[in-house]
Chain A
Amino acid sequence: MALHSYRIAREPYYRPAGDEIALFEAAHADRLPVMLKGPTGCGKTRFVEHMAWRLGRPLVTVACNEDLTASDLVGRYLLEAEGTVWQDGPLTLAVRHGAICYLDEIVEARADTTVVIHPLTDDRRALPLDKRNELLTAHPDFQLVVAYNPGYQSVAKDLKESTKQRFAALEFGYPAAPVEAGIVAHEAGIDPAMARRVVAVAERSRNLRGRGLEEGASTRMLIHAGRLIARGVAPEAACRMAIVLPLTDDPDLRDALAAAVGACF
C-alpha cells in the first residue's frame, strides 16, 4: 500500500469549537475541496489530521513555499542507470491512491503552481500529467484541503479569484476562553486553573492586535507556555519565554505585555 506511512494511527487531539467536524464530514462525503482560513497556530493543521484519522483516510501534507514548483507537487522523471523513471509528487500520490492532500499556507506558493490544482477541484477531478502524457483520474477517496492565513497584509499574497472560487471554506479563530483553556490543559498537561490563567495572558496579547502587534498569542504559543509550566518553570517566566519575547521586538510593547502578564498570575 503506497500510502501506508501516511495513515494516522492514533487519534490526534482536537477540541471542536463549533460544527466544523460535521461540516467537514459533509464536504468530504461529496469530496468537495475545502479551504481552511485562520490565524497562525489556531488549529487548522491539527483539525485536518483529526479529520483524516476520523474518516480513516491517509493524509499527504505539503507545506508550500515560494520556491515550490508545479513539478514539486506533481512529480518528475528521474535519471536511473537503465533510463528515466517517473516519480510521483505528493499531490499525484494522493490523487492516484486516494488520500486527503493538504496544502498548508497555500498563498506562499507561486500563482503558477496553484493553477495545477484547478482540474482537480471541479467536476473533472483529474490531474493531467503532461510530461507523462497521462490524464490521471482521481481516486474516489481523494480530497483536496488547503489552508492559509488571511491576515497577511501583503497585496502580493492573496489567492487568485479563479482559485478561491473552487473551494468551500471553514473559518478558524482562537477558541472561546473556556474551550481554549481545556485545550491548553490537555496538550500541556497542566491543571485547568493554571490553563485559564495562561489563556488570560493570551487575551491580553490579543487586545494588542492592531495596536502594535500583528497577531496576538496563538493557541500553539499557549501550549508551549503550558509545557514550560508543566516542567516546573514559574508561570511568569514561562509566559515571557514562550509568548512575550517571541511576539514582539518593540521594547514598549514588550514591557507593557510583560506587565500585563504579571497581572494574570
Chain B
Amino acid sequence: MDGVGGDIALADVERRLRAYGAALWGSDPPLRPLVGEGDPAAQRPRFDADLVRLPVVWPSLDLYRAALAHVGAHRMFSRPWPAKGLKPLLTIVVSLVEDARVEHLAMRRLPGLRRLWAPFHRVEPSPSLMAADLLERLARALFDPGFRDGNAWVDKGQRLFFERPERWDDSGFSLRLGGDLAGDLGKTRVQVNARGHRVDPVYRDDNGGLWLYDTPPEPPRDADDPLEAVRPEPVEEEGHRRNAPSQTPPAPAPLAVAETAALRPVARYPEWDHRIGLHRPDFVQVIEAVPEHGPPLLAPADPRLVQRVRALVHHAVVARPERLRRQREGDALDLDACVAASAARRQGHAPDTRVYRRVRRRGRDLSVLLLLDASHSTNDPAGDGTVLDLERRSADLLAGPLAAAGDRFALAAFRSDGREAVHWLPVKRFAEPYDAAARGRLAGLDGRWSTRMGAAIRHAGAALSAQPTLRRLLLLVTDGEPSDIDCPDPRHLVEDARKAVRELAGRGIDVVCVALGGDPHTHHRIFGRRNVLPVDRVERLPDILPAVYVRLTG
C-alpha cells in the first residue's frame, strides 16, 4: 500500500518536521534516519527516550507528519512497561491498544490529528483470519468508532475500547484490554508470526519504545524483527562526534603551523581555579599566529543573501537618526531656538540666529570583535562543507557590509594546545581595512586542537578595552564547550570561561555567544542565559549571524 521509491527525503524536510513536532508537543527530539534495512516499505519509525528514527525517504510529507505526531503522542502519554517474561503476542496486542489509546488522548487535545491519521487506515472488513489482517483491522476499529468489521474478536476489542473513554487516561487500560484480547487470540487457531510481525498502518512506530528490556534481547535473526528496535545502540555516532577535540588529537600537529605562520607570544593571562577560588597568575600564554593566506573563499555567497545582509546593516545604520539642534542651517525650524530668539529680540538683546535643526545619521558608538572557534571539532561536516567553512562564510558575509557601513569591528579566531599555547589568529584588527589580505587570512583558517575559551575571551577583552567607544561587544561563535588536552576536569575551563566573561562585563564589555551546538546548560553557565543565541542548524549560520549582529547592536 505504501509505494516504494518515495518522493520526500528526510534530509530535505527535517527542519520543518522538527518544528512541527516541537509545535505539537513542546519537545524536540533529534530526528535520525533509519539505516541498514532492506525493503523501505517495511520500515517503521522508531523512538526511544532521546531520538526518533524515520525512514530516509518516504512517499509524502503527511506520512512523516503522521509518524511524528504519533510518536509525539507516545512520548507524551506512554510510559514504557517492563517486557520481562511477556509473550511476544501479548506485547504486540498491548502495543496496538496503546497506539489507539495515545492517539485518542492526542485527538482530545488536537482534534485535527484525526484528519492527518485517518487516510492511512485503509484496511476494509474481510473474512480473513490471518493474524496480520486481524491486527490491522483491529487497529482501524480502535481508531475509528464508526468502522464495522464483523469479526467477533475485532468487534469485541472495539466495544471494550470505546465503552469507557474516561479510562483512556490510565495506561494500565492498554495492558488489561490488550492482555484480554491477546488471550482470546491465543485460544483461536490463528497463527501469529511474532518475529515477522509488522505494525500497520505505516505511520505507526515499531513499538520498541514502549517496552523496557532488562537484558538486550538476543540478536535478531531477520531485519524485520520488532525486538531489534529496542536493542540499545552502542554508539551514537552523531552525538559524540562533536566537541571531542581532546580525544582526537589531529595527526599533523604543531610542526605544520610553525611552517605556515609566524608565531609570537603576545600575552599571559591568569586562569580561574574554581576549586581554590583564586586566579592562577600568568597561567596561560597566548600566542599570536597570523594565519597564512589561503585561496580566496571559493563559492561566492548567494547574491540574494549578500544583498539582504547589506540592506540589513545599512538599514541598521541609517535608521538611527540624530537630531541636531540650534544649527545655522537645517531642514526645519528649531522651535526652542525660535522662541529663545524671539524672546531675546523682545528684550532688546541680539537674537541668536542659529534657529534651525536637522537630522543626521548617527555614527554608532560601538566596537565589535567577532571571534571564531577554530578548534578541531569545526572540521565536522555541515551543509556542503565544514562547520569552519560556514563560520568563515558567515564572517565574510557580515564583514563586507560592516566595513562599508563604517562600523568598528575586528575579526579573529582562536584554538588551544595546552595552557602554553593558546593560539590567537588575527584576521582583521580594528585599525586594519577588510581587504583582500584580510579575506585571504580568513580563508587560511583551519580547524585544529582544542577550545580554551577563557584565555581567548580575556585576550579579546584586552583588544576591545583599547577601543574608545562607549559600547563594546564580543561576539563569540563556537560549536562546542571549553576543553583542552591538559584539563581532565571539564568544569575547570567552564568556570574559568565564566569568570572571564564576568571580568569583561565588569569592564563594560558585553559578551554574546552564538552556539552552534554543545550543551546549552554549559553555555548558559558561562555566558548567562540571555547572552546565548542557539543556532538550531549550523547550515543556517550565514543566514543568522548578520541578523544576530544587527539585533544586538541595533
- Chain A residues with a Cβ under 8 A of chain B: 66-67, 69, 71, 76-79, 83-84, 153-156, 197, 200, 203-205, 207-208, 210-212, 252-253, 255-257, 259-265
Whether the pair A263, B335 counts as a contact (CB closer than 8 A) is: no
Contact for A153 among B323, B339, B343, B551, CB less than 8 A: B551
Whether the pair A265, B112 counts as a contact (CB closer than 8 A) is: yes
Whether the pair B23, A265 counts as a contact (CB closer than 8 A) is: no
Chain A contacts for B23, CB-based, 8 A: 204-205, 207-208, 256-257, 260
- Tell whether A256 pairs with B16 under 8 Å between CB atoms, given A79-B338, A263-B113: yes
Q: How far is the CB of B322 from chain A (nearest CB, A)?
A: 9
Interface-facing stretch out of B24-32, B227-235, B419-427: B24-32
Whether the pair B530, A153 counts as a contact (CB closer than 8 A) is: yes
Within 8 Å of chain A (Cβ to Cβ): is B473? yes
Whether the pair A207, B339 counts as a contact (CB closer than 8 A) is: no
Chain B contacts for A77, CB-based, 8 A: 336, 339
Chain A contacts for B25, CB-based, 8 A: 207
- Tell whether A83 pairs with B346 under 8 Å between CB atoms, given A153-B552, A211-B536: yes
Q: Report Cα–Cα, A253/B109, bound state, in Å.
A: 21
Q: Report Cα–Cα, A67/B320, bound state, in Å.
A: 9
For chain B, the bracket of interface size reads 35 or more
Q: Report Cα–Cα, A69/B112, bound state, in Å.
A: 51
> Can you list 30 pairs linking A and B with CB atoms under 8 Å apart?
A66-B320, A67-B321, A71-B336, A77-B336, A78-B335, A84-B342, A84-B343, A153-B530, A153-B552, A154-B551, A154-B553, A154-B554, A155-B471, A156-B471, A197-B111, A205-B23, A207-B24, A207-B26, A211-B18, A252-B16, A252-B19, A256-B16, A256-B17, A256-B20, A256-B23, A259-B20, A263-B116, A264-B110, A264-B111, A265-B111
Q: Is the interface of B mostly helix, strand, loop or mixed?
A: helix
Q: How far is the CB of B517 from chain A (nearest CB, A)?
A: 15
Q: Report Cα–Cα, A261/B113, bound state, in Å.
A: 10
Contact for B19 among A203, A253, A262, CB less than 8 A: A253
Chain B contacts for A211, CB-based, 8 A: 18-19, 22, 28, 536
Query: Within B459-515, which residues are at the interface with A (CB < 8 Å)?
Result: 471, 473, 510, 512
Contact for A155 among B323, B473, B536, CB less than 8 A: B473
Q: How far is the CB of A134 from chain B (nearest CB, A)?
A: 17
Number of residue pairs spanning A and B whose beta carbons lie under 8 angstroms apart: 98
Q: Which of A154, A207, A257, A262 has the most B CB atoms < 10 Å from its CB?
A: A207
Q: Report Cα–Cα, A7/B65, bound state, in Å.
A: 53
Whether the pair A260, B24 counts as a contact (CB closer than 8 A) is: yes
Q: How far is the CB of B73 from chain A (nearest CB, A)?
A: 11
Chain A contacts for B19, CB-based, 8 A: 208, 211-212, 252-253, 255-257
Chain B contacts for A71, CB-based, 8 A: 336
Within 8 Å of chain A (Cβ to Cβ): is B100? no
Q: Which of A83, A84, A153, A259 has the most B CB atoms < 10 Å from its CB?
A: A259
Q: Report Cα–Cα, A128/B26, bound state, in Å.
A: 52
Chain B contacts for A200, CB-based, 8 A: 109-110
Q: How far is the CB of B353 from chain A (nearest CB, A)?
A: 16
Shortest beta-carbon contacts, A-B, top 9: A256-B19, A260-B23, A256-B20, A263-B112, A204-B23, A207-B26, A263-B110, A252-B16, A155-B510
Q: How far is the CB of A27 from chain B (nearest CB, A)?
A: 27
Within 8 Å of chain A (Cβ to Cβ): is B87? no
Q: How far is the CB of A158 from chain B (nearest CB, A)?
A: 9
Q: Report Cα–Cα, A84/B339, bound state, in Å.
A: 7
Query: Within B99-118, which residues are at the interface with A (CB < 8 Å)?
Result: 109-113, 115-116
Whether the pair B69, A263 counts as a contact (CB closer than 8 A) is: yes
Q: Report Cα–Cα, A41/B28, bound state, in Å.
A: 26
Q: Report Cα–Cα, A76/B336, bound state, in Å.
A: 8
Within 8 Å of chain A (Cβ to Cβ): is B534? yes
Within 8 Å of chain A (Cβ to Cβ): is B15? yes
Whether the pair B551, A212 counts as a contact (CB closer than 8 A) is: no
Q: Report Cα–Cα, A204/B471, bound state, in Å.
A: 38
Question: A67-B323, A203-B26, A211-B22 provided; 8 other pairs, C-beta below 8 A?
Answer: A79-B335, A84-B343, A156-B471, A156-B553, A207-B26, A211-B536, A264-B111, A265-B111
Q: How far is the CB of A148 from chain B (nearest CB, A)?
A: 15
Chain A contacts for B194, CB-based, 8 A: none
Q: Report Cα–Cα, A203/B26, bound state, in Å.
A: 9
Q: Which of A200, A204, A256 has the most B CB atoms < 10 Å from its CB?
A: A256
Within 8 Å of chain A (Cβ to Cβ): is B533? yes
Chain A contacts for B530, CB-based, 8 A: 153
Q: Report Cα–Cα, A256/B551, bound state, in Å.
A: 25
Chain B contacts for A67, CB-based, 8 A: 321, 323
Contact for A259 among B65, B510, B553, CB less than 8 A: B65
Chain A contacts for B26, CB-based, 8 A: 203, 207
B267-301 contact mask (Cβ, 8 Å, vs A): 1 or 0: 00000000000000000000000000000000000
Q: Report Cα–Cα, A118/B20, bound state, in Å.
A: 47
Whether the pair B552, A260 counts as a contact (CB closer than 8 A) is: no
Q: Report Cα–Cα, A212/B15, bound state, in Å.
A: 10
Q: Report Cα–Cα, A205/B113, bound state, in Å.
A: 16
Q: Report Cα–Cα, A79/B343, bound state, in Å.
A: 9
Q: How far is the CB of A215 from chain B (nearest CB, A)?
A: 13
Query: Within B301-327, which residues are at the interface with A (CB < 8 Å)?
Result: 320-321, 323
Q: Which of A205, A210, A212, A263 has the most B CB atoms < 10 Å from its CB?
A: A263
Q: Report Cα–Cα, A154/B552, bound state, in Å.
A: 4
